[in-house]
Amino acid sequence: MGNIVSFSSPSSEATNFHQLSALDIDKQPVDFASLAGKVVLVSNVASKLVVAAAKEKYGDKGLVIMAFPCNQFGFQEPGTNEEIKKFAADRGFTGEGTQLMDKVKVNGSGASPVFQFLKVASGDTGPIGWNFAKFLVRKDGTVYGRFGVRTLPSELVPQIEECLKLEQ
């Protein structure tokens, strides 16, 4: 199975993370090509539980935390984008090294093309079980791996550091 994801047009295919795009929390398009040369940690989140520790440690070293709010699990993210944005900002999830995205679905009908791609590219196409699944993307746009909801960002330090050291 190739690293292929369908977008609005059935003929559109992505084989690299940098070929994707999505809306940010302000409904503005984000072209993931702008992330080339950065290590990206993508997570589906409930803003009530946002943790910015990885950003604090690696944000100035080339790590971008891309957080996609998701309300599919226990309805933990019922807020509007404005409410989510304020909550995240109040907890330090702003500025360099962060990208707060529009609310998405990660499983089932209507799942975000970003998460469809990440699942396939990671080799783990099973459904995401809860908030805080994590995908680590290398600087070249290939997916390093998928990490479960119980994996704390602090447990990803060796993998993040390995990806940050590549191609320096």
Residues 5-55: pLDDT tens digits? 333 322 247 899 999 999 999 999 999 999 999 999 998 875 544 455 666
Q: For the domain that residue 64 is a member of, what is the CATH number?
A: 3.40.30.10
Does residue 69 form part of some domain? yes
Distance separating alpha carbons of residues 122 and 52, to the nearest angstrom? 24
Does residue 88 form part of some domain? yes
Does residue 52 form part of some domain? yes
Residue 103 has pLDDT above 70, yes or no: yes
Q: What is the mean pLDDT of residues 60-85?
A: 81
For 9-80, where are the alpha helices, taking DSSP H only? 53-58
Question: Tokens 């900002």 belong to which residue?
Answer: 89
pLDDT at position 56: 67
Domains contained in the chain, number: 1
Does residue 5 form part of some domain? no
Give residue-wise pLDDT tens across range 153-162.
788 889 999 9
- Tell me what the pLDDT averaged over the chain comes to: 81
Length of the chain: 168
Residue 62 has pLDDT above 80, yes or no: yes
pLDDT at position 4: 32
8-state DSSP, 68: E
Chain centroid to CA 34: how far? 14
Pair 160, 39: CB distance under 8 Å: yes
Domain that holds residue 32: 17-165
pLDDT at position 53: 61
Does residue 10 form part of some domain? no
Pair 65, 50: CB distance under 8 Å: no
Higher-confidence position of 144 and 56: 144
Distance separating alpha carbons of residues 57 and 53, to the nearest angstrom? 6
Does residue 86 form part of some domain? yes
**Residue 99, strand partner residues:** 66
Does residue 4 form part of some domain? no
Residue 107 has pLDDT above 80, yes or no: yes
Distance separating alpha carbons of residues 139 and 52, to the nearest angstrom? 20
Does residue 60 form part of some domain? yes
